[in-house]
Amino acid sequence: MNVLSAMAGINDGEFCKKFTKQNVDIITLGGYNIDLETFKAGLQNSIDDRQEFITCPHHLSEDIDEQINIIKEYNPNWKGKISANLRAVSADSFKAIYKNTQLDIAEINAHCRQKATQEAGAGQALLKDEKTLLEMVEALCENTTFDISVKIRANVEGVDTLKIVESIESYPVKYLHVDAFNPGVDEPDYEIINRIASITNIHVIANNCITSHERYQKMLDYGASSVSVARAALDGDISHIFQ
């Protein structure tokens, strides 16, 4: 499957709808701030001219439905799935989407690395708070019928990426979305994708600097089940990557 990854709140229905005609199987909305703490962090991030982090948690489920409808009305023939990337600081925060009936996939955001987001205890900070991360996974698995995805960042200092993967493996998570962050290198860490794929039965979606079909294919060659594109989508056409 080919995946459009979330990009810090840029991904609304208007932005995403065109990709239904570009060989994309999963469209990810968001990321969304779904509690007060992540909303405040989004405001702080916006001081650095990152307006895309300002997403309000009020009426979250209705807002997601509105974006889904924009996509489906644009291309009723598209048969793909829609995911929402969700920033939160606790398992209770996810109650806001429990009753949603249109969403296919709920994705826990354990990858955003902005300072304010991490200081709030969300995004990448969850990789160092495994207890809270797993409480989030358990809450979604027990209270919803969505497919569950967890997006993590690899190679975070002080974090054993493979241990995190093994912990997530014990829950019925369908997708493990991996930002194959390669510190100091403008290219993905293909080896970490290979190592992760070798220890899990979860569907691995590989992400990071996927700007060409060659990188897309290399991720698959190293064991990824699927590949996601993020920043390259800002050009408006990713069909050459998913050719």
Q: What is the pLDDT of residue 201?
A: 97
pTM of structure? 0.95
**What pLDDT score was predicted for residue 59?**
86
pLDDT at 186: 84
For residue 44, the model assigns a pLDDT of: 78
**What tokens were used for 29?**
């909305």
* Res 221: pLDDT: 98
Tell me: the pLDDT tens digits for 83-108?
999 999 999 999 999 999 999 999 99
Degrees (nearest 5) of the Cα angle 159, 181, 44?
80
pLDDT of 53 > 90? The answer is no
The arithmetic mean of pLDDT across residues 127-152, rounded, is: 98
Q: What is the pLDDT of residue 132?
A: 98
Fold of the domain built from segment(s) 2-235: TIM Barrel (3.20.20)
169-199 residue pLDDT tens: 999 999 999 999 999 888 999 999 999 999 9
SS3 track for the chain? CEEECCCCCCECHHHHHHHHHCCCCEEEEEEEECCHHHHHHHHHHHCCCCHHHCCCCCCHHHHHHHHHHHHHHHCCCCCCEEEEEEECCCHHHHHHHCCCCCCCEEEEEECCCCHHHHHCCCHHHHHHCHHHHHHHHHHHHHHCCCEEEEEEECCCCCCCHHHHHHHHCCCCCCEEEEECCCCCCCCCCHHHHHHHHHHCCCEEEEECCCCCHHHHHHHHHCCCCEEEECHHHHHCCCCCCCC
Residue 46 scores a pLDDT above 70: no
Q: Which residues sit opposite 204 in a β-bridge?
A: 176
User: How does pLDDT run across 158-171, given as a tens digit for each residue?
Assistant: 999 999 999 999 99
Q: Can you tell me the mean pLDDT for 220-228?
A: 98
pLDDT band at 39 (very low <50, low <70, confident <90, very high): confident
Two tokens, residue 76: 């009723």
Mean pLDDT of 236-241: 95
